[in-house]
Amino acid sequence: MTTSRAETLSGRAVADGVAERLKARVAELPYVPRLVFVRVGEDPASVFYVRSKQRFAKRIGVDAETLVLPDDVDQAELMATIAALNADPDTDAVLVQLPLPGHLDSAPVLEAIDPAKDVDGFHPLNVGRLWSGGAALAPCTPVGLLAILDHHGLEVHGRHVVIVGRSHMVGKPAAALFLARHATVTLAHSRTRDLAGVVRTGDIVVAAVGRAGLITADMVKPGAVVLDVGMTRVGDRIVGDVAEDVWDVAGHMTPMPGGTGLVTVAMVLQNTLTAAERRRG
């Protein structure tokens, strides 16, 4: 018996569609939305991620600027930078690129960003609004997961979604977003008993741990939708949380790279436009 390979859920196609819609929205505005990135130091991954977001911003007509602070910047100076951006009426969106160097505490930094400008969706006010069903700027990767499913016509309503990973950036907000779309959600993690058995019950599986090859073929229900958020460098390659053999079991699957990361970038700019429109009317 031959097995069929899962259908690829292309992040490029989704991001391209979002770009066209956002470009049209920007063209109708009487102002140019402004997004400011705050980057500390020259970490290669942070430099890459910020540049990719800047390229997307330029593509749709958003003014994006990067403030680069030295590696040894202290907490007070970083907080002062955030306060200045909060007070600037021409700045619609602020994103502090994570992770920060070890001597800095990211929690008060993220809490200091004006919730109306918090395009990462990490401020406690936005978190609370998300869980209570209010108008929130939601974290970009979880919003992007739904965008991928919608683009490819994959139903969420009534499906069982198993999310592996309980981070504040992906796992927890993804659970809230899927619940809001009437899915049944199981939030699993490293201490879940019989993790393989739990994952196998999922119609949709979200892998968001950051452990290469964690999800293997024997853990996945045949025909399931698998969304790979994890990203780990192994040698000279970037690999996800989902092992290669899952392609022979799943019905639909995101590649890594080329899947969820591209859509996350698009959602940063979608949140930027939403923030600008809400602030400026």
Residue 35 C-alpha from the chain's centroid: 17
CA–CA separation, 132 vs 179, rounded Å?
Answer: 11
Using the CB atoms, write b or e for 67-99: b if 16+ within 10 Å: eebeeebeeeebeebbeebbeeeebbbbbbbee
CA–CA separation, 103 vs 106, rounded Å?
Answer: 10
> Catalytic residue among 92, 97, 118, 172, which?
97
With beta carbons less than 8 A apart as the criterion, state whether 264 and 14 touch.
Answer: no
> Catalytic residue among 92, 114, 118, 120, which?
120
> Catalytic residue among 53, 117, 172, 221, which?
53
Say whether 120 is catalytic.
Answer: yes
Say whether 71 is catalytic.
Answer: no
Specify the amino acid at residue 260.
Answer: T
**DSSP state, residue 179:** H
Say whether 75 is catalytic.
Answer: no
Catalytic residues: 53, 97, 120
